[in-house]
Every structure is written in C-alpha cells, then in structure tokens.
Amino acid sequence: MRKKRNLLDIIINIIIILAFVLAVYWFIQLMFGHTPDLSDFNSILIVMIIGFLFHLYREVGEIKVGIKHSFINIKEDINIIKTDDNLIKKKLKV
C-alpha cells in the first residue's frame, strides 16, 4: 500500500536532497582547502538535520493516527462481538 505524498513532503525531500548534495560538494572543497567557510558548511548541515527531524515528526504523527484508528476499530469489533454474544444467549435462553 503506497502512501499518498502531499506537496509539503515533496518540498521537504527536495530540500534534504539539495542540502545533502551541497554539503558533500562543500565537504570535498573543504578537504582540498578551497572556498566554503566552515560556518556555511555547518549551516547546511543544520538545514539537513532540521529537514530530517521535520520529516521524522510527520512520519511519527501518521503512525500515531493509524494506531488511534486501529484501537477505535478494535473497540467497534468488541462491541459487535458483545451484541452477537447477547443475541446467542437470548436465543439459547441462558
């Protein structure tokens, strides 16, 4: 079952990928003693970390909602079983 992606998820994934590519490029430049400042490199790492955390927060929220719906369905199923049990008891006159 595939999840439907909304615009925010796509934007977050694009930001994370672009930040990763830029971080790798800047890291390679840093290793060879070229242009990017360490503060620029650190800022792009912070953007990547915030993007990952936001993505993780959204995933946990979706899991939480799914668990809540599962418990509601279990409660409904138990109520149906109780109703059926009462009907059986009534028919058997127990």
pLDDT tens digits, one per residue of 60-77: 888 888 888 899 999 999
pLDDT tens digits, one per residue of 17-39: 888 888 888 888 878 877 777 78
Other beta carbons within 10 angstroms of residue 79's beta carbon come to 10
Residue 4 has pLDDT above 70, yes or no: no
CB 48 within 8 A of CB 23: yes
> Given this model, what pLDDT does residue 74 score?
92
CB 41 within 8 A of CB 30: yes
Q: ∠ CA 32-35-39 to the nearest 5 degrees?
A: 105
> Given this model, what pLDDT does residue 1 score?
42
Q: Which pTM value belongs to this model?
A: 0.58
